[in-house]
Amino acid sequence: MPFHLLFREDDFLNCRFAVSPLWETHEAIRTLKRSERQGYHAPWLRRIHTAAAALDLEPLWLLMPQHGNSPDCLMPPPIGPAATFEEEIAAVRGTGPEVARAEIALSLADTPGAAESPLGRALLADPARAVRELADTMEAAWHTLVEPAWPRLRALLEADVAFHSRRLAAVGLAGLLPELDRRVAWDPGGLTIDWKGDHVRDLGGRGLVLMPSVFTWPDVVSGFDPPWQPTLVYPARGIGGLWAEPSGRTPEALVRILGRGRATVLAALDEPAATTALAHRLDLAPSSVSAHLSALRDAGLLVSHRYRHQVLYERTPLGIALAAGET
Residue 233 phi, psi (nearest 5) = -100, 125
Task: Report the distance separating Cα 171 and Cα 237, nearest Å.
Answer: 18
CA distance 14 to 229: 10
Q: Is the peptide bond before 227 cis (omega within 30 degrees of 0)?
A: yes
Average pLDDT over residues 24-34: 94
Is pLDDT of 26 > 90?
A: yes
Cβ-based neighbours of 291, under 8 Å, separated by 6 or more: none
- Side chain identity at residue 204, one-letter code: G
What is 244-323's CATH topology?
Arc Repressor Mutant, subunit A (1.10.10)
Average pLDDT over the chain, rounded to whole? 85
* 227, pLDDT greater than 80: no
Q: Which helix (H) or strand (E) holds 17?
A: strand 16-17
pTM of the model: 0.77
Least reliable range by pLDDT among 43-57, 116-130, 181-195: 181-195
Q: Where in the chain is the domain with CATH 1.10.10.10?
A: 244-323
- Cα 246 → chain centroid: 23
Q: Is the pLDDT of residue 327 over 50?
A: no
